[in-house]
Amino acid sequence: MANIKQTLEELMTLDGAMCGAVVDSASGMMLGSIGSGVDLEVAAAGNTEVVRSKMKTMRALGLSDVIEDILITLGKQYHIIRPSSRKEGVFIYFVLDKARANLAMARRKTQDVDKEMNF
Q: What does pTM read for this prediction?
A: 0.94
Query: What was the pLDDT predicted at 1?
Result: 61
Handedness of CA 25, 26, 29, 34 (dihedral sign): negative
pLDDT band at 118 (very low <50, low <70, confident <90, very high): confident
* Fold held by 4-116: Beta-Lactamase (3.30.450)
Residues 52-83 have pLDDT tens digits of 999 999 999 999 999 999 999 999 999 999 99
pLDDT band at 119 (very low <50, low <70, confident <90, very high): confident
Mean pLDDT over 18-33 rounds to 96
Alpha-helix residue ranges (DSSP H) falling in the chain? 4-11, 40-60, 103-116
Alpha-carbon separation of residue 82 from 28, 73 (angstroms): 14, 14
Q: Looking at residue 117, what DSSP letter applies?
A: B
